[in-house]
Amino acid sequence: MINEKLQEAFNDQINKEFYSEYLYLAMKVYFQELNLQGFVNWFDVQVQEERAHAIGMVDYLNNRGGKVELRAIEKPVVEGSTPLEIFEQVLKHEEFVTLRINHVMDVAEEVKDRAAMHLLDWYLKEQVEEEATAGGVLATLRLIGDDKKALLMLDKDLAARTFVAPVIG
Ligand code: OFO
């Protein structure tokens, strides 16, 4: 059985992971409209990762005898109107998600649920990677500035990203 406060924190985080999936899907559409297929691929992988993160928590909560509550997913808002601005938002969003997972970890610590802490450790490590990946693309976009040729080269690089189903936990 899982503590109720921790169950609530997991349910809230499940919703945030599904929101992330939805947000990145909206960003994928933005790049589809620009016909930047490498960026499209990058976001496609991101969408799949977020879905895996969400389902990982759904399955975990279920395995622990908790009650999964699927809540309404907010309409995603893409704030930027350039690739640079979009990636600023991606990094900001990942930093926010890290904060939220830290919060779930705080609750797990408070109720002394070591098994949950172990799982959340995985999510926190994943966040370090997520921030680094988004930050890397953002740094390149800053270097690129208005250089369209360089943007197309980056697009080519991003086409190489592949989705590898994460082993969570
Ligand atoms: Fe689920 O890692 Fe991004 O948000």
The pLDDT tens digits for 46-90 are 999 999 999 999 999 999 999 999 999 999 999 999 999 999 999
Two tokens, residue 120: 């959340």
Q: Is the pLDDT of residue 1 over 90?
A: no
pTM: 0.97
Residue 16 CA, closest ligand 1 atom number: 4
CB of 21 closer than 6 angstroms to any ligand 1 atom? no
pLDDT for the residue numbered 166: 96
31 in the Ramachandran plot: left (φ > 0), alpha (ψ -120 to 50) or beta? alpha
Mean pLDDT of 110-133: 98
CB atoms within 10 A of CB 143: 10
Two tokens, residue 112: 């002394």
**How far, in Å, CA of 106 to CA of 9, rounded?**
10
CB of 113 closer than 6 angstroms to any ligand 1 atom? no
Residues in Cβ contact with 108 at an 8 Å cutoff, skipping those fewer than 6 apart:
6, 9, 116, 117, 120
pLDDT for the residue numbered 25: 98
**Angle, in degrees to the nearest 10, between helices 148-158 and 37-63:** 40
pLDDT for the residue numbered 102: 98
Closest Cα partner for 103 from 167, 12, 18? 12
* CA-proximal residue: ligand 1, atom 3 (nearest): 94
Residue from 50, 55, 103, 125 whose mutation best tests the ligand 1 pocket (most atoms within 8 A of CB): 50
Domain map (residue ranges) of the chain: 4-158
Q: Residue 68: helix, strand or coil by DSSP?
A: coil
Residue from 10, 17, 124 whose mutation best tests the ligand 1 pocket (most atoms within 8 A of CB): 17
Two tokens, residue 149: 């040729």
Residue 46 CA, closest ligand 1 atom number: 3
Asked: is 4-158 a CATH 1.20.1260.10 domain? The reply is yes
